[in-house]
A and B are shown apart, each in its own frame.
Chain A
Amino acid sequence: MGIPIPNSKLGMWLFLGTEIMFFTAFIGSYIVLRLGSNGWPTRYEDTHINVLLGGINTFVLIVSSYCVVVAHEAMAQKNFSKARGYLWVTTLLAFLFLGIKGVEYKGKIDYDILPGRIPETSSQAMQKVSDQLEELVRERFHAYTHSGVITAERPGDLLGIAPLVQALQSAERPSSMTDAEFKGYQESAAADYELFQKWMNLEQHVVADVSLAQPALPADYLVKREALGAGERLPALKLEEVRTYLTELKTTGPLSGLISARVFDPHPMVYGNIFASCYFIMTGFHAIHVIVGMILFGMVLKQGSSLNERWTDWVENSGLYWHFVDLVWIFLFPLLYII
């Protein structure tokens, strides 16, 4: 006994019931977290959320959903080549969807809009500039130790290698190198050493939280601090100062191009992490569902021209699943992109 639908369809519907609850948990949490937070980043500069791309993606999914129903209808009418054609379109649209999603993701990843990477306070932002600069210096210095121009005991230690890099400018040419090669090294070493010093300067100020207007030598402001009266303190480092400092670095000097590409302008975003967390967890799980749907359709397409009516139920059920994926997006789009 039972109800007049096949097991597979019943099972699919029940499964979709569980899926609704799964996304409910994410969407519901997102809604209440957002309502409960004291500010939520919505400006494009912060979030890099592109309504246009989202809208196009909505459209893509709708078209694909339409293709799936038509494919199923064709299956029911035993017009298998038509069905295959429409399923191909659906699958291609799924690829397109993921492609657009990928472009969006890349836009965010390029700017480090990722949970755990977004600075939310100015001190985090300043620390981040310093960290990125350090990363750059490390990489540059690694080139010397790697090529054997410098033999350092602990290649990881910037402070230990820096004098060696500087010494490179007055060193003898190793026999393994041509003059031209060595000259190149000497020139870049000069630039790299300078960058190192700039970074060190910034880093010390960041660590001590002292304005860049103070002299860079740590001993200096330690002395000054000693001399302070109760309640007094040296002026703190300002985000604006760091930004100016960075702009200067980016526009002058031989490494400016590299810096521009690798060090982001400090951009604190309050509640940036929770925003990115919600965004990625919801769109990410949605994308995983898209991929699963593509696998379901792929199994049908693999049949090639031998597709037959035994697959009708399969197409119907994966169609149901696909519509559900579409449905989730229908809600994600306004919730994430518009509101």
Chain B
Amino acid sequence: MSHDEHQTHHVNYLAVFFVLCGCTGLSVLFDVMSMSKGVTIVLVLAVACAKAMSVMMYFMHLKFEGNWKFVLLAPTTILAIGLPIALFPDIGRSYYINVAPQVTTWAPEVAEYEREHAAAAEHSEESH
């Protein structure tokens, strides 16, 4: 029950660090590569999860903690994932006709403007 001796697990923090850097590079790479939007999203988020896992496991020492970590983190994770999922059917899409979108209702000229500048936009998307 005492905590005096701090954990003697030796983690090669430098290795973890390089993995994290590599992952960051990877997400930037995915952004630059021309893939379909959906694929990019999935890949980039997967990389983020991998990074999060390594930070939690090694930097935050969860790998070496007792079972309390599950008691604390399992419900948190469920709620954290559950909340957006529960919000989705109402906010992420709507069951009824939504008349609020302004592209059509409120700014016909903006649509025009967008069209005019579409070419320029595509150009810049590549450069950036």
A residues at B contact (CB < 8 Å): 2-6, 9, 13-14, 17, 20-21, 24-25, 27-29, 31-33, 35-39, 43-45, 51-52, 55, 58-59, 62-63, 65-66, 68-70, 73, 76, 120-123, 238-239, 268, 270-271, 312, 316, 319-320, 323-324, 326-327, 330-331, 333-334, 337-339
What residue in chain A is nearest B17 (Cβ atoms)?
A: A66
In contact, B17 and A62 (Cβ under 8 angstroms)? yes
Flag if A32 contacts B84 (CB, 8 Å). Answer: yes
Nearest chain B CB to A148's CB is how many angstroms away? 45
A51 touches B88 (CB 8 A): no
Complex: A73 Cα to B10 Cα, angstroms? 9
Q: Name the contact of B48 in the complex, choosing from A36, A65, A334 (C-beta under 8 A).
A: A334
A338: contacting residue among B7, B44, B88, CB under 8 A: B44
Query: Known: A24-B79, A35-B88. Is A270-B103 also a contact (CB below 8 A)?
Result: yes
The smallest beta-carbon distance between B36 and chain A, in angstroms, is 13
- Nearest chain A CB to B30's CB is how many angstroms away? 7
15 new A-B contacts, CB < 8 A, other than A36-B98, A270-B114, are: A4-B1, A5-B3, A5-B68, A6-B3, A20-B80, A24-B83, A28-B83, A36-B91, A39-B103, A44-B124, A59-B24, A76-B7, A121-B106, A268-B107, A316-B6
14 chain-A/chain-B pairs, Cβ below 8 angstroms: A5-B65, A5-B66, A17-B72, A28-B80, A32-B84, A35-B93, A62-B21, A66-B20, A70-B13, A120-B102, A120-B107, A270-B103, A323-B55, A326-B55
Whether the Cβ atoms of B83 and A338 lie closer than 8 Å is: no
Among B36-56, those with CB < 8 Å from A are: 37, 40-41, 44-45, 47-48, 51-52, 55-56
Q: Which residue on A lies nearest to B1, using beta carbons?
A: A4
The verdict on A2 contacting B1 (CB below 8 Å), with A21-B80, A331-B52 known, is yes
Number of A-B contacts (CB under 8 A): 167
Give the distance to chain B from A156, nearest Cβ to Cβ, in Å.
32
Interface of B is mostly: helix
- Pairwise interchain contact B87-A29, C-beta atoms closer than 8 A: yes
Q: A44-B124, A323-B60, A331-B52 are in contact. Are A32 and B110 (CB under 8 A)?
A: no
Rounded to whole Å, the gap between the CB of A188 and the closest CB of chain B is 36
Please provide the chain B residues from 8 to 36 with a CB less than 8 Å away from any CB of chain A in the complex: 11, 13-14, 16-17, 20-21, 24, 27-28, 30-31
| Pairwise interchain contact B52-A35, C-beta atoms closer than 8 A | no
> How far does the Cβ of A29 sit from chain B's closest Cβ, in whole Å?
7
Interface residues of B in 97-128 (CB under 8 A from A): 98, 101-104, 106-107, 109-110, 113-114, 120-121, 124-125, 128
Q: Is the CB of B40 within 8 A of A121?
A: no
Instruction: Name A126's closest neighbour in chain B (CB-CB).
Output: B109
